[in-house]
Homo-oligomer: A and B are copies of this chain.
Amino acid sequence: MFTELFRHIEEKTALTEADKRGIPNFFVPKRLRKKQFLLQEGEYCRSLAFVARGLLKSYTLDGGGQEHISLFAWEGWWVSDFKSFLFDEKAILSIDALEQSEVLLIDRPNYERLLVEVPAMERYFRILYQNSLVTKDRRLIVSNTYSAREKYVQLITTYPQIAQRVPQHLLASFLGLTPETVSRIKKDIREEA
């Protein structure tokens, strides 16, 4: 289960053989059935989860019970309620599995120890967070500036596999659009092709 994690780390920074022997000791693996929760709103998020296999989603519920997707996380992604994890607050995100999944969990004490004991991991997380900020900046800009169609096209161009793996009504939720708007955009694009 650590092959995917090592691959992801080594895309960003070098690991020694000693690093690779040590890193698994900081994690606990967990399997999730489809629809099983990893975290529910109001709980404390005690771990960061690295997705070794499968697909999860994190989301909030608004006052009307409507789901708003925060993130889709497949192989190579991390998912958590990061604020709850770091600041010991109640989670406002829920996380569940869209497909049968395998995740690697690291709790807060192990995370802090890992960063100190394995300097390559300090570098890995700096680069991971740096790239993640770029993605989130762009998502905020897209959400504030782009038209519905531009949002849809940008998403499926950046993540081609998303349209295959994620149901259309969840894609719409992620983009802040109605399912009807997404259907109309797809129809327009087909007719222009």
User: Which A residues have a C-beta under 8 Å from some C-beta of B?
Assistant: 60, 62, 68, 70, 82-83, 86-87, 92-93, 115, 119, 122-123, 125-126, 129-134, 136-141, 143-145, 176
Contact = CB atoms under 8 A, between A and B. Distances in A.
Contact of A133 (B62, B68, B133, B143): B133
Contact of A130 (B60, B86, B93, B141): B86
Given A129-B126, A130-B129, A133-B82, A143 B143 contact: yes
A129 B82 CA distance: 12
A137 B69 CA distance: 12
A70 B119 contact: no
A114 to B, nearest CB: 12
Contacts of A144: 60, 68, 70, 143, 176
A134 B70 contact: no
Given A125-B126, A125-B130, A137 B70 contact: yes
Given A119-B119, A144-B176, 19 more contacts: A60-B145, A70-B140, A70-B141, A82-B130, A82-B134, A82-B137, A86-B131, A86-B134, A87-B134, A93-B141, A119-B122, A122-B122, A122-B123, A129-B129, A129-B133, A133-B133, A140-B140, A140-B143, A143-B143
24 contacts: A62-B145, A68-B141, A70-B140, A70-B141, A70-B144, A82-B130, A83-B137, A83-B138, A86-B131, A86-B134, A115-B126, A119-B119, A122-B122, A122-B126, A126-B126, A126-B129, A129-B133, A133-B136, A136-B136, A136-B140, A139-B140, A140-B143, A143-B143, A144-B176
